[in-house]
């Protein structure tokens, strides 16, 4: 990369979660290239000395700050990469620009897109005004949606994950130890449905251990359904549940997957074509996945036979899937490991780096 690349990520506040994983994978791939990261004001993150970190964004005024920052950067000649972009970012970039943005200046990674008539109309106007913004997306569906509205410089780029040095031989001997809900506790990620399962396990007198992350995603905020589910979990009395309530380090987070069956009862509407970093982490660690049909996760699990795909979050159906995976844990674990190795290569950050340097 000849010019400095400015990576804009207001929600980057620490080294937990896939926001940091996304950025660090790109940093690792970039080597000695010149990078500047614009992140949350109090971000507790560490990157190599070649990377400049500007702790800039405050939650309540981050959109106003983004407008100012885009305007400042567009006056210069350095490249801009918005790593978690949406319609608002495209609108702010257009507002910040003095006319048409030059080719090769702005890149926006759009992780997912839920279409509507009004959104398409708005994006069509933006695409006519700023046809040279490069849109990067992780799935063919998102790419097609954005090309349809007029962003002709839209490219399919795999969701980057940080390379993980896994001891495949050690993992191949892993025995089942626990069920797992990993990642931020949210309704759309099926947290209340997993609590339903815990209540059923308690009713049945089962003794299957389960570990659940109960930390919120950004700014320690829960949706109402998740807050109520946490209350139910606390009052349930199931003795074999372990809560990870604090935000975990990357090492502790990845350690959750050893010997686990990962429960991903994610919203079919929200994750029909939306990639999950938790799935990639689970398979890399040899953890079979139980997930819902008609989702991106379901297609991956079915492709590699690395777990089970079910049609409902009804707790008895989830419990039946758990017992089925337990009966053949070794096979599902081995298939998960194979899937993880292939996905590590397919989702290398080198592909993203190549597009940003093009």
Top-level class of domain 168-345: alpha beta
Widest pairwise Cα distance in the chain: 67
Residue 168 confidence (pLDDT): 54
pLDDT over 50 at 27, yes or no: yes
Residue 214 confidence (pLDDT): 87
Distance linking the first and last C-alpha atoms of the chain? 9
Mean pLDDT of 56-62: 94
How many angstroms separate the CA atoms of 297 and 346, rounded? 15
CA–CA–CA angle 213, 218, 222 (5° rounding): 65
- Do strands 178-181 and 154-156 pair parallel, antiparallel, or not at all (unpaired)? unpaired
pLDDT digits (tens, 9 = 90+) for 234-291: 999 999 999 987 777 778 888 999 999 999 999 999 999 888 989 999 999 999 999 9
pLDDT digits (tens, 9 = 90+) for 328-341: 999 999 999 999 99
The residues with which 35 forms a beta bridge, in sequence order, are 5, 51
- Listed by start position, the domains of the chain span 5-161+348-357, 168-345
Helix-helix angle 315-327:329-346, to 10 degrees:
90
The residues with which 211 forms a beta bridge, in sequence order, are 180, 242
Q: Classify 241 as helix, strand or coil.
A: strand
Whether 5-161+348-357 and 168-345 share one fold: the answer is yes
**How many CA atoms does the CB half-sphere of 1 hold within 13 Å?**
26
Residue 1 confidence (pLDDT): 47
CA–CA–CA angle 146, 148, 152 (5° rounding): 70
Query: Which comes out higher in pLDDT, residue 213 or 245?
Result: 213
| Homologous superfamily in CATH for domain 5-161+348-357 | Glycogen Phosphorylase B; (3.40.50.2000)
């Amino acid at each position: 990369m000849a010019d400095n690349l400015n990576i804009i990520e207001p929600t980057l506040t620490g080294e937990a979660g896939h926001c940091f994983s996304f950025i660090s994978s790109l940093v690792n791939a970039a080597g000695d290239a010149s990078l500047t990261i614009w992140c949350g004001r109090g971000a507790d993150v560490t990157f190599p000395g070649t990377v400049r970190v500007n702790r800039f964004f405050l939650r309540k005024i981050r959109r106003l700050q983004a407008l100012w920052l885009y305007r400042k950067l567009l006056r210069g000649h350095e490249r801009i990469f918005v790593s978690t972009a949406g319609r608002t970012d495209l609108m702010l970039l257009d507002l910040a620009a003095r006319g048409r943005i030059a080719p090769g200046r702005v890149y926006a990674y759009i992780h997912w897109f839920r279409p509507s008539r009004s959104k398409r109309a708005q994006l069509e106007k933006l695409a006519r005004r700023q046809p040279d913004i490069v849109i990067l997306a992780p799935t063919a569906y998102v790419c097609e949606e954005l090309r349809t509205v007029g962003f002709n410089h839209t490219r399919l780029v795999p969701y980057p994950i940080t390379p993980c040095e896994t001891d495949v031989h050690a993992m191949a001997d892993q025995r089942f130890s626990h069920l797992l809900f990993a990642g931020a506790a949210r309704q759309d990620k099926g947290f209340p449905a997993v609590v339903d399962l815990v209540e059923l396990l308690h009713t049945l007198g089962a003794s299957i251990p389960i570990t659940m992350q109960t930390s919120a995603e950004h700014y320690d905020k829960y949706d109402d359904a998740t807050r109520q589910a946490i209350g139910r979990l606390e009052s349930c009395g199931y003795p074999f549940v372990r809560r990870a309530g604090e935000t975990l380090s990357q090492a502790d987070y990845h350690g959750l997957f050893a010997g686990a069956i990962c429960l991903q009862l994610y919203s079919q509407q929200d994750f029909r074509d939306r990639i999950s970093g938790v799935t990639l982490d689970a398979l890399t660690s040899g953890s079979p996945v139980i997930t819902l049909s008609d989702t991106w996760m379901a297609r991956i699990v079915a492709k590699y036979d690395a777990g089970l795909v079910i049609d409902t979050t009804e707790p008895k159906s989830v419990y039946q899937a758990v017992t089925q995976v337990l009966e053949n844990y070794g096979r599902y674990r081995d298939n998960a490991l194979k899937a993880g190795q292939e996905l590590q290569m397919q989702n290398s950050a080198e592909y993203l780096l190549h597009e940003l340097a093009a």
